[in-house]
Amino acid sequence: MVVRSIKDGISWVGAIDWDLRLFDSLIPTPKGTSYNSYLVKGSEKTVLLDAVGEEMEMELVTNLMTAQADEVDYIVVHHAEQDHTGCLPLLLELYPSALVLTSPKAKELLIEFFGIEEERIRVVEDRETVDLGGKTMQFFHAPWVHWPDTMFTYIPEDRIIFTCDFLGSHLAASDLYINDPERLYESAKRYYAEIMMPFAGSIPAYLDTIESLDVEIIAPSHGPLYNNPDLILGYYREWATADPKNTAVIAYVSMHGSTKKMVDILGNALIGEGVDVERFNLAESDIGLLAMSLVEAKTVIVATPTVLFGAHPLAIYAAYLAAAIKPKAKYATVIGSFGWGGKAVKQIADIIAPLKCEVIEPVYIKGHPTEKDITAIKELAKTIAAKHAE
């Protein structure tokens, strides 16, 4: 538990979870995460921006006591997801005169999630300002990064913008700011891939909004802050808008070696054709690394053996994840092997259909690859390389 000063009258009062290894029981977080909460004291009003989940609420409350937040006039909820709002019922008890300021959609969700009384919530309009005395909060509605309820808060006097999940990272760190590009890159990209990539289409406009403001500090709700905003804004611009690279990602699982043999042949043939290859053995891979590789891949390949009549469950999981996070890949295909039941390829192809990629003719073989199968796999590599070259 620690309070960290950001600017005169602005402090970080959140919680760091150093041990978390799976966020939402889904997303690997090898470096933990933080739940950032900010206390802003104007000469007239005190406000808390973002809160923490129920399990971290005592950390936040202790920090608020340390920061001498005897009164809180407003609690700004940028986004209703429970990792930032789980402690809201407690906060509203501790500060009985505090008013929640939030977007229309978040108001609806807060009432549904926590039964918060409507009169404790005030909806703020896009671009509305609230004076704190010497500091002004300006709200920017920002739906779909990553929920429909999201908004940002900008304080022009301090040149700081609070962006909630947007531009965040899952990184537990003692540093208030992150200035090391290498250290930032992996945590922020992992976070982008898993949480923001499905909303890549919404992102450029929000980057434009932030760049149109005079911003010295970006303060997200997860991970360290940025006092060099261009770094993270540049990464997001590239991840969201740049054309995919000449890379094929192969997510595979093999039971008796046939599918792995196919992957070996295809991977080597692709390299021989000048295509960069990233391989993930799903039996032991960090699914977050797979998600990161999908940010820039041009082709997604799922390789699966057959379990009973269908695909291996790990391949189904990877295909489902790939379809859900919506990478900008242009091509997809499936390869695999079967013994006596042959529906795995169709099953995977159906799962990845939402990717809206061009599906290149799969290669599905019986048992171990024969010479004829090897020729077909090499032809597939040629086809992929030719598509990448278009």
Chain residues 306-345 in contact with ligand FEO, contact rule CB under 6 A: none
Rounded to 10°, the helix 371-389/258-272 angle is: 40
Piece in contact with ligand FEO (CB under 6 A), picked from 59-67, 76-84, 90-98, 273-281: 76-84
Residue number, 37 or 293, with CB nearest to ligand FEO: 37
Q: Is 221 in the site for ligand FEO (CB under 6 A)?
A: yes
Residue number, 36 or 259, with CB nearest to ligand FEO: 36
Give the number of residues written for the chain: 390
Piece in contact with ligand FEO (CB under 6 A), picked from 77-85, 211-219, 268-276, 355-363: 77-85
**Residues 191, 24: Cα–Cα separation, whole Å:** 13
Q: Which of 78, 79, 279, 298 lies at the binding interface for ligand FEO (CB under 6 A)?
A: 79
Q: Is 83 in the site for ligand FEO (CB under 6 A)?
A: yes
Q: Is 194 in the site for ligand FEO (CB under 6 A)?
A: no
Piece in contact with ligand FEO (CB under 6 A), picked from 13-21, 80-88, 154-162, 277-285: 80-88
CB 305 within 8 A of CB 256: yes
**Residues 314, 332: Cα–Cα separation, whole Å:** 18
How far, in whole angstroms, is CA 332 from its chain's centroid? Answer: 22
Residue number, 57 or 81, with CB nearest to ligand FEO: 81
Chain residues 160-179 in contact with ligand FEO, contact rule CB under 6 A: 165
Give the shortest CB-123-to-ligand FEO separation in angstroms.
Answer: 20
Residue number, 17 or 373, with CB nearest to ligand FEO: 17
Residue number, 222 or 312, with CB nearest to ligand FEO: 222
Give the shortest CB-79-to-ligand FEO separation in angstroms.
Answer: 6
Residue number, 220 or 362, with CB nearest to ligand FEO: 220
Q: Is 260 in the site for ligand FEO (CB under 6 A)?
A: no
CB 205 within 8 A of CB 150: no
Piece in contact with ligand FEO (CB under 6 A), picked from 79-87, 93-101, 128-136, 328-336: 79-87
Long-range contacts, stretch 259-265, CB < 8 angstroms, 24+ apart? 259/303, 259/304, 259/305, 259/335, 259/336, 259/337, 261/368, 261/369, 262/303, 262/335, 262/336, 262/337, 262/363, 262/365, 262/369, 262/373, 262/377, 263/303, 263/335, 265/369, 265/374, 265/377, 265/378
Q: Is 149 in the site for ligand FEO (CB under 6 A)?
A: no
Q: Is 158 in the site for ligand FEO (CB under 6 A)?
A: no
Q: Is 84 in the site for ligand FEO (CB under 6 A)?
A: yes
Residue number, 53 or 156, with CB nearest to ligand FEO: 53
Residue number, 41 or 84, with CB nearest to ligand FEO: 84
* Amino acid at position 379, single letter: E
**Residues 240, 196: Cα–Cα separation, whole Å:** 9
Give the shortest CB-222-to-ligand FEO separation in angstroms.
Answer: 6
**DSSP secondary structure letters along 171-206:** ---S-SB---HHHHHHHHHHHIIIIIGGGGGGHHHH
Total residues at the site for ligand FEO (CB under 6 A)? 8
Q: Which residues of 229-251 are buried (b: 16+ CB within 10 A; e: fewer)?
A: bebbbebbbebbeeebebbbbbb
Residue number, 55 or 273, with CB nearest to ligand FEO: 55
Residue number, 81 or 373, with CB nearest to ligand FEO: 81
Instruction: Determine the residue with CB nearest ligand FEO.
Output: 81
CB 66 within 8 A of CB 83: no
Bond preceding residue 170 cis, omega within 30 of 0: no
Residues within the interface to ligand FEO (CB under 6 A): 79, 81, 83-84, 146, 165, 221-222
